[in-house]
Amino acid sequence: MAFRVRLSIDAHRELKKAKCFYEAMDKKMEFLIDFDEHIEFLEQNPHLFQIHYRNVRIVHFKIFPYSLHYNIIDGTVTVLNIIRQSQSF
């Protein structure tokens, strides 16, 4: 079963900031590929990651220092935020 994945407003904002940051370093495409791979993975396997806090699961990017914080409600994966590893929230 494929899950629907959607991004929250906060996640959209953080994605835009990360794209701008990596565009300045000519790594925007690599970042987007890493991001897309994780979104595709969540569509198929969102339950593979453990719950860390308040029903939120976390998946870390393979290449870039970011993680997706998400929850699963009624067959929809909602990415609540995209957080840089050195950033606190």
What pTM did the predictor assign?
0.89
Q: Check pLDDT > 80 for residue 87.
A: no
Percent of the chain exceeding pLDDT 90 equals 88
How sure is the predictor about 89, in pLDDT bands with cuts at 50, 70 and 90?
Answer: low
Pick the CATH number of 4-84 from 3.30.2310.20, 3.40.190.80, 3.50.30.30, 3.40.190.10: 3.30.2310.20
Q: What is the mean pLDDT of the chain?
A: 93
User: What are the structural domain ranges in the chain?
Assistant: 4-84
Q: What is the pLDDT of residues 46-63, one digit of tens each?
A: 999 999 999 999 999 999
Cα(20)–Cα(77) distance, integer angstroms: 25
Q: What is the dihedral of CA 73, 76, 78, 79, to 10 degrees?
A: 130
The CA distances from residue 17 to 13, 51, 60, 70, 81, in Å, are 6, 26, 18, 19, 12
Q: What is the pLDDT of residues 14-27, one digit of tens each?
A: 999 999 999 998 99
pLDDT for residue 88: 55
